[in-house]
């Protein structure tokens, strides 16, 4: 599952810790999602979309494995 998280975060000038706080998750979780270690849960995906004011579909790309 690819995503544009790092680019979106950079556009907003936020550190991983900043974003983590806004999403109410740990900094390690943001890092893991950005580096592709695992996918967010659906509720977290919704919070991510909300924070960036866009849709889940425009941030995450399921590619083959979904």
Partner DNA sequence: CGACCATGTCAAGCACACTTTACTTTTTCG
Partner DNA sequence: CGAAAAAGTAAAGTGTGCTTGACATGGTCG
Please give the residue ranges that form the binding site for DNA (CB under 7 A): 9, 15-17, 24-29, 31-35, 37-41, 43-44
Contact flag: residue 2 with a second copy (CB under 8 A): no
| Of 31 and 56, CB closest to DNA | 31
How far apart CA 62 and CA 14 sit, in angstroms, is 25
Contact flag: residue 43 with a second copy (CB under 8 A): yes
Q: Decide: residue 15, CB within 10 A, 0-12 exposed, 13-18 middle, 19+ buried.
A: exposed
Q: How many residues does the chain have?
A: 66
Contact flag: residue 66 with a second copy (CB under 8 A): yes
């Amino acid at each position: 599952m690819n995503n544009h998280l790092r680019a979106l975060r950079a556009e907003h000038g936020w550190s991983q810790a900043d974003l983590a706080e806004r999403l109410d998750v740990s900094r390690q979780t943001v890092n893991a999602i950005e580096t592709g270690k695992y996918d967010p849960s659906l509720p977290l995906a919704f919070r991510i979309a909300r924070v960036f004011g866009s849709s889940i579909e425009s941030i995450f790309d399921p590619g083959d494995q979904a």
